[in-house]
Amino acid sequence: MFEMSDGTKQSTKKLRFALLSAFFNFIKDSVDPESQNPCDNPALRKLFKAGKPPQLKILEKDVVDEIIFRTRNPKNRLMLELMARSCMRVGEVLKLRPKDIEDRKAIIRDPKSGKEAEIAFLPQKVADRLQKYISDSSIKPDDRIFPITYAAARIVVKKAGDLVGIHLKPHDLRRHAATYASRSGTPLEIVSKVLLRHSNLSTTQRYLGKISDADAIRWIDNLHG
């Protein structure tokens, strides 16, 4: 095992160890119950122990509100709101065209899921501002509402974060939208299937931040107080 992994990154070594361990466990469970898993060794498990996944940054609502309110450019503010209020990915925002907006629904063409289309739902105020921006800017039905590159959009988001002294990335806003909805009592199924548009709940659960003791007690009081 050491020779096979010589010169590779530690993460690669851990992955290979996990795959080998899974293989030998399969042999033991399905072929030969008397066989031993050579990876089942305290020293090896410690050496190739998988690291903890990094804790995702969760933004509080008042921080996100301040970021949006401080953004004076109407186009930039709308982009931020679509990510932070409607759980949209930055790439989805950039592909939007006026013909994709139907009242309080944004039709997402060729989404990440591989489906033909998905729907993102818009808060009324965001939908109203979006329609006004399209009208005021005389954007044609087939033209992109936000005709900028992905790199330029990331810069817009970063500068918005700089206004409140934080390092901000587009996905932080989408993650905030999901976490805020969850902590406000929105059922997990709605957060997963409607807001984030995930195919399974396990993917959604990785988005949601850890619950503090204070939050846990508050929810218990809300439920049983």
Q: What is the CATH number of the domain that holds 203?
A: 1.10.443.10
Angle at 180 between CA 179 and CA 184, to 5 degrees: 115
**How many other CB atoms sit within 10 Å of the CB of residue 176?**
24
Instruction: Confirm whether 208 is domain-assigned.
Output: yes
> Does one domain contain both 31 and 119?
no
Q: Are 49 and 41 in contact (CB under 8 A)?
A: no
pTM: 0.67
> Does one domain contain both 39 and 142?
no
> Does one domain contain both 75 and 185?
yes
Tell me if residue 56 falls in helix, strand or coil.
coil
| Per-residue pLDDT tens over the stretch 105-143 | 999 998 877 788 999 999 999 999 999 999 999 999 999
> Does one domain contain both 43 and 78?
no
Is 147 or 200 the better-scoring residue by pLDDT?
147
> Does one domain contain both 81 and 169?
yes
State yes or no: pLDDT of 145 exceeds 90: yes
Instruction: Confirm whether 5 is domain-assigned.
Output: no
Q: Are 108 and 100 in contact (CB under 8 A)?
A: yes
> Does one domain contain both 16 and 76?
no
DSSP 187-201: -HHHIIIIII--SSH
Structural domain count, the chain = 2
- What are the helix (H) ranges across the chain? 10-30, 42-47, 61-70, 74-86, 90-95, 124-136, 150-162, 170-183, 188-190, 201-207, 213-224
Instruction: Confirm whether 116 is domain-assigned.
Output: yes
> Does one domain contain both 87 and 116?
yes
Is 205 or 64 the better-scoring residue by pLDDT?
64
Instruction: Confirm whether 221 is domain-assigned.
Output: no
> What domain range is 173 assigned to?
61-216
Residue of 67, 93, 44, 84 whose CA lies nearest to 165? 67
Rounded CA-CA distance 17/23 in Å is 10
| Per-residue pLDDT tens over the stretch 25-65 | 777 677 777 777 887 777 777 776 665 555 566 788 999 99
